[in-house]
Amino acid sequence: MNEHQTTHQALQPHKYPVFIKIIGAVVIGLFLYSLYLVPLYFTASKNLKKGENFLNQRNYTKAIISLEKVVEQVPSSKEAKILLAIAYFSNSDTEDDQNGIYHLQDITLYESDWNKVSAVMPEEYQELFNTINE
């Protein structure tokens, strides 16, 4: 051996703790799941926009069809439920009013949302709602 050469012991590979590996696997799993959901939310977003446009054009039948698709795809979509209720209340078929009430169940309406909904909701249904002061 050359007098300037020294032998060094090889470095041991770093071993990550098990909890770090588990957290990494969970993060990767959640990322892959979110990639899986992208097409669903993209389609729902397109249908929401279409439904909103149909509602603005007063084409309530097409608005209801588009917004029902959104609620089917994303049942937690508060915006779709509110717009769907507005479409049901706005169309000429008063039998659809029950569908409007159904979609407003179990959601909290802010004042701006309530103003939009109550503008088209029949008065007898408005009594079903409580005002909550925060």
Q: Which letter, b or e, does each residue of 69-108 get, where b requires 16 or more Cβ atoms within 10 Å of its Cβ? A: bbbebbeebeebbbbbbbbbbbbeeeebbebbbebbeeee
Distance, first Cα to last Cα, the chain: 82
Q: Dump pLDDT digits (tens) for 40-56.
A: 999 999 999 999 999 99
Report domain extents, the chain: 18-126
Q: For residue 109, how many other CB atoms are within 10 A of its CB? A: 19
What global pTM score does this model have? 0.74
Nearest Cα residue to 83 out of 108, 105, 57, 104? 104
Class of the CATH-defined domain 18-126 = mainly alpha
Helix (H) or strand (E) holding 27: helix 18-56
Q: Report residue 1's pLDDT band, with 50, 70 and 90 as the boundaries.
A: low
Calpha distance 68→86 (Å, rounded): 12
Q: What is the mean pLDDT of the chain?
A: 88
Using one digit for the tens of pLDDT, what is the confidence trace for 86-124?
999 998 888 888 888 898 888 888 888 888 988 888 888
Burial of 126 (0-12, 13-18, 19+ CB in 10 A): exposed
